[in-house]
């Protein structure tokens, strides 16, 4: 009967493998290491590295201060209002909102140009013949109507509490 051949593998030294990989790493990753050193130098030059070290050293105190700051009623209102603003911005049709974004700087430039002369009553009334102004008034009027309705319902719900 055949006898099995004994197979004895040498013990694997993972530490030796890691040291070997570590020795060859600078040559294999020279560009990445140089880029990393440049980033570290930039962080050091700007003082960001020292700031991060300080944050790590006093992380619990910084976290506690941040938590304490968010516990005030004002902070809670700020966070709620920011969330509502983000939600509101998500509701806008980007094409319509883009028109508003382009219109606002142009309107500010026009207002600055007209600030030197004070228009008379007739020239101001004549502006109401402009169809673009009338469209804008209709939009703002609709906004104010809806806002007034929401304001009333919010005031009524506050008085019930």
Whether the per-residue pLDDT at 61 is higher than 80: the answer is yes
The helix-helix angle for 73-91 and 59-70 (nearest 10°) equals 80
Which of the pair, 102 or 160, is modelled with greater confidence? 102
Least confident of 45-59, 70-84, 111-125: 111-125
pLDDT at 120: 82
Note the pLDDT of residue 46.
Answer: 94
Biggest CA-to-CA distance, the chain: 121
pTM greater than 0.75 (yes/no): no
Comparing 117 with 149, the larger pLDDT belongs to 149
Q: What is the DSSP letter of 5?
A: P
CA pair distance 143, 137, nearest whole angstrom = 10
User: Residue 81: its pLDDT value, please?
Assistant: 94
pLDDT over threshold 70, residue 161? no
Instruction: Give the whole-number percent of the chain exceeding pLDDT 70.
Output: 99
Give the C-alpha separation, 40 to 34, whole Å: 10
The conformation of residue 108, written as its DSSP 8-state character, comes to: H
Judged against a pLDDT cut of 70, whether residue 15 lies above it is answered with: yes
Token pair for residue 117? 């002369």
User: Is 104 within 8 Å of 110 (Cβ atoms)?
Assistant: no
What are the residues whose beta carbons fall under 8 Å from the beta carbon of 152, sequence distance 6 or more? none
pLDDT tens column, 36-56:
999 999 999 999 989 888 888
d(CA 49, CA 60): 18
- Residue 92 has phi, psi (to 5 degrees) of -70, 140
């Amino acid at each position: 009967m055949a006898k099995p051949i004994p197979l004895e593998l040498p013990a694997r030294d993972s530490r030796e493998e890691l040291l070997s990989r570590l020795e060859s790493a600078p040559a294999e990753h020279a560009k990445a290491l140089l880029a990393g050193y440049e980033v570290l130098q930039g962080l050091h030059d700007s003082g960001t590295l020292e700031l991060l070290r300080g944050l790590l050293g006093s992380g619990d105190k910084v976290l506690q201060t941040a938590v304490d700051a968010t516990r005030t009623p004002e902070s809670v209102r700020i966070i709620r209002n920011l969330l509502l603003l983000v939600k509101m911005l998500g509701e806008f049709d980007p094409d319509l909102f883009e028109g508003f974004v382009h219109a606002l700087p142009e309107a500010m430039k026009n207002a600055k140009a007209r600030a030197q002369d004070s228009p008379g009553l007739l020239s101001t009334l004549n502006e109401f013949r402009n169809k673009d102004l009338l469209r804008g008034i209709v939009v703002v009027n609709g906004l104010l109507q809806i806002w007034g309705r929401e304001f009333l319902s919010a005031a009524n719900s506050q008085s019930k509490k």
